[in-house]
Amino acid sequence: MVFIDIQHREVTLKLVYYGPALSGKTTNLQQLHRMLGDCTGTQLMTLNTRDDRTLFFDLLPLQMTTAGGMSIKVKLFTVPGQVYHAATRRIVLQGADGVVFVADSRISETRGNNESFADLRQNLAENAIAFEDIAVAIQFNKRDLEGIRSDEEVTRIAAKGSEPVFQATAIQGIGVAETFAGLASTTWKKLDRRYELDRRFGVSHDQFMERLMGLVHRGEG
Ligand SMILES: Nc1nc2c(ncn2[C@@H]2O[C@H](COP(=O)(O)OP(=O)(O)O)[C@@H](O)[C@H]2O)c(=O)[nH]1
Ligand SMILES: [Mg+2]
């Protein structure tokens, strides 16, 4: 859960990119890292196997200070998707405030998506995180490929649930910032309701989002 250090006026949020193997979780973080630009000095930490798959997790730490002197850290993690990394996924998910579920849009990947979503629910339960207590966003990635679910189908799926749904072609950077902003916003609102961040620290949702997205778009322009 969110880490609040009142004495040092510091809040740390943990956001996790979850989903089946090869759906594009690491690519999302690589694109966000690229958008940060060079001047931040922020490193994307990845730990890959020889075949370039995520072995443990990726970590992209973001940090900003609000006008009121509040320090906000946002730590972005990805989990390894392969079935045999179940224990790692559970550990990475510990203390998460928000999760993006990165689905592969191809109809052929439906089963992998469904199994991974069930795995997410189970790992949340094992970490004693209620599904209602965590912010969740869904990304349908790989919109550039053949054999994908249609836009209408994605819209229909989105209408069935309450989670925000985004379409992306992460490899081209499309939809990456939108997904991130959607998750960050939902997470902040959820945490604010629970911990009164605005009242206690004087950081409104809009201030938080403005700072955060200012960071992410620094390298573009
Ligand atoms: N065509 C296409 N390929 C993608 C897209 N996003 C990621 N990939 C590719 O899918 C593969 C797996 O991506 P990766 O980010 O490592 O997946 P992860 O296992 O979820 O971390 C890589 O070859 C990526 O280049 C996309 O939007 N379209
Ligand atoms: Mg990966």
Question: Is 97 a domain residue?
Answer: yes
In the chain, the number of structural domains is 1
Asked whether 86 and 68 are in contact (CB, 8 A), the reply is: no
Question: Is 221 a domain residue?
Answer: no
Find out whether the beta carbon of 112 lies less than 6 Å from any atom of ligand 1.
Answer: no
Please report the atom of ligand 1 found closest to the CA of residue 172.
Answer: 27
- 52 or 177, which is more confident: 177
Look up the domain containing 152 and give its range.
3-216
Please report the atom of ligand 1 found closest to the CA of residue 28.
Answer: 15
For residue 20, the ligand closest to its alpha carbon is 1
pLDDT at 55 (0 to 100): 61
Where are the extended beta strands (E) located within the chain?
A: 3-5, 10-18, 58-65, 71-78, 98-104, 135-141, 165-167
Element (H, E) at 11: strand 10-18
- What one-letter code names the amino acid at 1? M
pLDDT at 200 (0 to 100): 87
Find out whether the beta carbon of 171 lies less than 6 Å from any atom of ligand 1.
Answer: yes
Mutate to test the pocket of ligand 1, among 23, 27, 77, 78 (most ligand atoms within 8 A of CB): 27
pLDDT tens track for 36-53? 876 666 888 876 655 556
Write the residue with the smallest CA distance to atom 9 of ligand 1: 24
CATH of the domain at 112: 3.40.50.300
pLDDT tens track for 142-152? 999 999 999 99
- What one-letter code names the amino acid at 38? D
Question: Is 15 a domain residue?
Answer: yes
- Average model confidence (pLDDT) across the chain: 90
pLDDT tens track for 50-105? 555 656 778 999 999 988 888 999 999 999 887 778 888 899 999 999 999 999 99
For residue 23, the ligand closest to its alpha carbon is 1
